[in-house]
Structure 1
Amino acid sequence: MRKNVLVIGAGGVGQVVVHKCAQNNKLLGDIHIASRTIDKCRRIVASVREKNALQANGVLVAHALDAMDVAATSQLIRTTGAQIVINVGSSFLNMSVLSACIETGAAYIDTAIHEDPVKICETPPWYANYEWKRRAECERAGVTAILGAGFDPGVVNAYAKLASDRYFDRIDSIDIVDINAGNHGRFFATNFDPEINFREFTGQVWSWQNGRWTANRMFEVSREWQLPVVGLQKAYLTGHDEVHSLSQILGVPTVRFWMGFSDHYINVFTVLKNLGLLSEQPLRTAEGQEVVPLKVVKAALPDPASLAPTYAGKTCIGVLVQGRQRGSEQEVFVYNVADHKQAFEEVGSQGISYTAGVPAAAAAMLIASGEWDVRKMVNVEELAPQPFLGLLDRLGLPTRILHHGIDSSLQGQCDATDTSRAASVP
Structure 2
Amino acid sequence: MRILLVGAGGVGDAIAKIAARRTFFEAIIVSDYDVSRAERTIAWIKGKHGDEIASRFSAVAIDASDPDAVAAVARENGATHVMNAVEPKFVPTIFAGALAAGADYLDMAMSLSEPHPTDPYAKTGVKLGDDQFAQRGDWETAGRLALVGMGVEPGLSDVFARYAADKLFSSIDELGTRDGANLVVRDSDGAEIFAPSFSIWTTIEECLNPPVIFEKDVGWFTTEPFSEPEIFEFPEGIGPVECVNVEHEEVLLMPRWIDAKRVTFKYGLGEEFIGILRTLHQLGLDSTTPVTVRSANGPVEVAPRDVVAAALPDPATIGPRMTGKTCAGVWVTGRGQDGEPREVYLYHVSDNEWTMREYESQCVVWQTALNPVIALELLATGVWSGLGVLGPEAFDAEPYLELMARAESEGGYGQRWGLSDRL
Tell me the TM-score normalized by structure 1: 0.88
Q: Secondary structure at the match of 1:169?
A: strand
Residue 334 (structure 1) aligns with? 346
Q: Secondary structure at the match of 1:219?
A: coil
Q: Contact between 2:71 and 2:98, CA under 8 Å: does it hold in 1?
A: yes
Are residues 310 and 55 of structure 1, via their aligned partners in 2, closer, same or farther at CA, if it must alter by over 3 Å?
farther
Q: Contact between 2:114 and 2:125, CA under 8 Å: does it hold in 1?
A: no
Letter in 1 for 2:70: T
Q: How far is 1:15 from its partner? A: 0.9
Residue 400 (structure 1) aligns with? 418
Letter in 2 for 1:198: I
Moved more, 282-291 or 266-275: 282-291
- Distance in 1 between residues matched to 2:228 and 2:66, nearest whole Å: 41
Fraction of identical pairs, as percent: 27
Are residues 169 and 146 of structure 1, via their aligned partners in 2, closer, same or farther at CA, if it must alter by over 3 Å?
same
Residue 207 (structure 1) aligns with? 213
Residue 324 (structure 2) aligns with? 313
Q: How far is 1:263 from its partner? A: 2.2
Q: Secondary structure at the match of 2:241?
A: strand
> 1:41-120 residue pairs with structure 2 within 5 A?
41-52=38-49, 56=53, 58-115=55-112
Q: How far is 1:304 from its partner? A: 0.8
Residue 168 (structure 1) aligns with? 169
- Distance in 1 between residues matched to 2:26 and 2:163, nearest whole Å: 30
> 1:270-285 residue pairs with structure 2 within 5 A?
270-285=278-293
Q: Contact between 2:180 and 2:234, CA under 8 Å: does it hold in 1?
A: no
Q: Contact between 1:174 and 1:320, CA under 8 Å: does it hold in 2?
A: yes
Are residues 119 and 54 of structure 1, via their aligned partners in 2, closer, same or farther at CA, if it must alter by over 3 Å?
farther
- Distance in 2 between residues matched to 1:193 and 1:347, nearest whole Å: 19
Q: Secondary structure at the match of 1:51?
A: helix
Q: How far is 1:119 from its partner? A: 10
> 1:27-426 residue pairs with structure 2 within 5 A?
27-52=24-49, 56=53, 58-115=55-112, 123=124, 126-127=127-128, 129-185=130-186, 187-209=193-215, 211-212=217-218, 213-229=220-236, 230-285=238-293, 288-325=299-336, 326-393=338-405, 394-403=412-421
Letter in 1 for 2:387: R
Q: How far is 1:117 from its partner? A: 9.6
Are residues 8 and 116 of structure 1, via their aligned partners in 2, closer, same or farther at CA, if it must alter by over 3 Å?
farther
Moved more, 138-147 or 178-187: 178-187
Are residues 114 and 396 of structure 1, via their aligned partners in 2, closer, same or farther at CA, if it must alter by over 3 Å?
farther
Q: How far is 1:309 from its partner? A: 1.5
Q: How far is 1:254 from its partner? A: 0.7
Structure 2 stretches lacking a partner, 5+ long = 188-192, 406-411
Q: Secondary structure at the match of 1:349?
A: coil
Q: How far is 1:278 from its partner? A: 1.4
Q: Deviations over 1:120-171 (max 9, x none)?
A: 9893672552111111111111112111110100000010110000111111
Q: Deviations over 1:225-246 (max 9, x none)?
A: 1221111111112121111111
Q: Secondary structure at the match of 2:135?
A: helix
Q: Contact between 2:115 and 2:209, CA under 8 Å: does it hold in 1?
A: no
Residue 408 (structure 1) aligns with? none
Q: What is the alpha-carbon root mean square deviation over aligned residues?
A: 2.3
Structure 1 stretches lacking a partner, 5+ long = 406-426
Residue 420 (structure 1) aligns with? none
Q: Which of 7, 32, 36 matches 1:9?
A: 7
Tell me the TM-score normalized by structure 2: 0.89
Q: How far is 1:286 from its partner? A: 5.7
- Distance in 2 between residues matched to 1:107 and 1:342, nearest whole Å: 32
